[in-house]
Amino acid sequence: MIKSIPISQLSDFRVGHAQDMVHATGCTAILCPKGAWAGVDVRGGSPASRETELLRPENTVQQIHCVMLSGGSAYGLEAGDGAMAFLEERGSGFDVGIGKVPIVCGASLFDLELVSAKHRPDKKMGYEACENAWSGMEPLEGNVGAGTGAAVGKFYQTERMMKCGIGIWAGQIGEVRCGAIVAVNALGDVIDYDSGKILAGLLTPDHSGFADTKRCMYEELQNSRNLWSGNTTIGCVITNARLDKSQCRKAAVIAHDGYAQTIRPAHCSVDGDTLFVMAAGQVEVAPDSFYAMASEAVARAVNRAALCAAPAYGLKAAADFL
């Protein structure tokens, strides 16, 4: 079985947040200044992402230096510029002969509806998240970083949704360490990985319990309407395992199982579900065994995102029903 460990024990990586609590948005930086092999899988139908094309295994750049997760929809991708500035100052990046270019990938979720569509993560906030990551402190969970404005249960738009957030979970088997950082902002419900019960999601009309998004969708199977597109779950798996770009890509594909096991439904056309994998290359692994480990890390991080969220902005959270 996997032994739970603090994410800070993945010492090649640093994780930090910055947020605007008043306007319900933020970003989360996952730094690997020495460079990490990486891959990505974009499974949802409405993504906002940065530098995902260079992660294709056949493309030149082999390593990246940061994944920036942010709110703000496509506007929030600007937070990645802050990471580039931060890493450039520290001499981290892809050597192009006349200098080093930091490779910063990223994805954004839609939180513009919660408080203000005019306040989004920007370069300054991205830089601040990197500064906080650099401090080496254990990162917080819940209503912070990219999870500040996250919510779930949006089948009936925003009327019956619940607060969610960002979750972090890491584990170890032998010398292999694997962690996941996930900001959950899904159309569907968050499902407990162990019990199968709903932790957070679509509320009943009187907000006294869970309506069960899947059941409601089945009831409207022949009622075609435009669904709320302000969703998306974004995350990053980090590991000390030795994986090449192709294996990182495969790990990202399979680790999406963690979304499917704990978000019901996942990967909708109005979600932009995206998952990165970063590998520091320190420890040999059996790839398929590692993929299973990564999937569980993602699933448990999704659960943490719901369980660590606090009621805010007029929304209930999982804590209200525990």
Domains of the chain plus CATH, in order, are 5-321 (3.60.70.12)
Rg of the chain, C-alpha, whole Å: 18
Q: Using CA atoms, how far apart are residues 136 and 271, in angstroms rounded to an integer?
A: 32
Q: Are 41 and 298 in contact (CB under 8 A)?
A: no
Residue 2 is given by DSSP the state: P
∠ Cα 189 192 196 (to 5°): 90
Q: pTM for the whole thing?
A: 0.96
Q: Where are the beta strands (DSSP E) in the chain?
A: 3-5, 14-20, 25-42, 49-50, 63-70, 94-95, 100-101, 104-108, 151-152, 162-163, 166-173, 176-183, 189-191, 198-200, 234-241, 263-264, 274-283
Using DSSP's 3-state secondary structure scheme, residue 14 falls into strand
- Which residues, 6+ apart, have CB-to-CB distance to 97 below 8 Å? none
Q: Using CA atoms, how far apart are residues 16 and 25, in angstroms rounded to an integer?
A: 15
Using DSSP's 3-state secondary structure scheme, residue 115 falls into coil
Tens digit of each residue's pLDDT, the chain (322 residues): 899 999 999 999 999 999 999 999 999 999 999 999 999 999 877 788 899 899 998 998 999 999 999 999 999 999 999 999 999 999 999 989 899 999 999 999 999 988 888 999 999 999 999 999 999 899 999 999 999 999 999 998 888 999 999 999 999 999 999 999 999 999 999 999 999 999 999 999 999 999 999 999 898 888 777 676 678 899 999 999 999 999 999 999 999 999 999 999 998 887 889 999 999 999 999 999 999 999 999 999 999 999 999 999 999 999 999 8
Residue 145 is given by DSSP the state: G
Residue 46 is given by DSSP the state: S
Query: In the beta sheet, which residues pair with residue 49?
Result: 107
